[in-house]
Amino acid sequence: MRTWMHQNGVQQLDIDECVTGTHSCQQRCINTEGSYNCSCYDGFMKRFELFCF
């Protein structure tokens, strides 16, 4: 498991939401420290941070 240092100085365990399936992304999930980002496949546009059209 990965860990990262929170800005308050406390070491945090990073849960990969992309691997565990706990994300809300419609197409692609990109794991980040303490969270995740969504992106779309080529030819699609992201709307409202989660949806691809």
pLDDT (tens digit per residue) in 3-51 = 878 888 888 888 899 999 999 999 999 999 889 999 999 999 998 887 9
Q: Which fold has domain 2-52?
A: Laminin (2.10.25)
What local confidence, expressed as pLDDT, does residue 32 receive?
Answer: 92
Domain boundary assignment for the chain: 2-52
Report yes or no: 52 and 41 within 8 Å, Cβ to Cβ. yes
pLDDT at 4: 76
Contacts of 6 (CB under 8 A, 6+ apart): 12, 34
What's the pTM? Answer: 0.74
pLDDT attached to residue 38: 95
Which token pair is 15? 């849960």
Element (H, E) at 18: helix 17-20
What is the C-alpha to C-alpha distance for residues 40 and 14, in angstroms, rounded to an integer?
A: 23
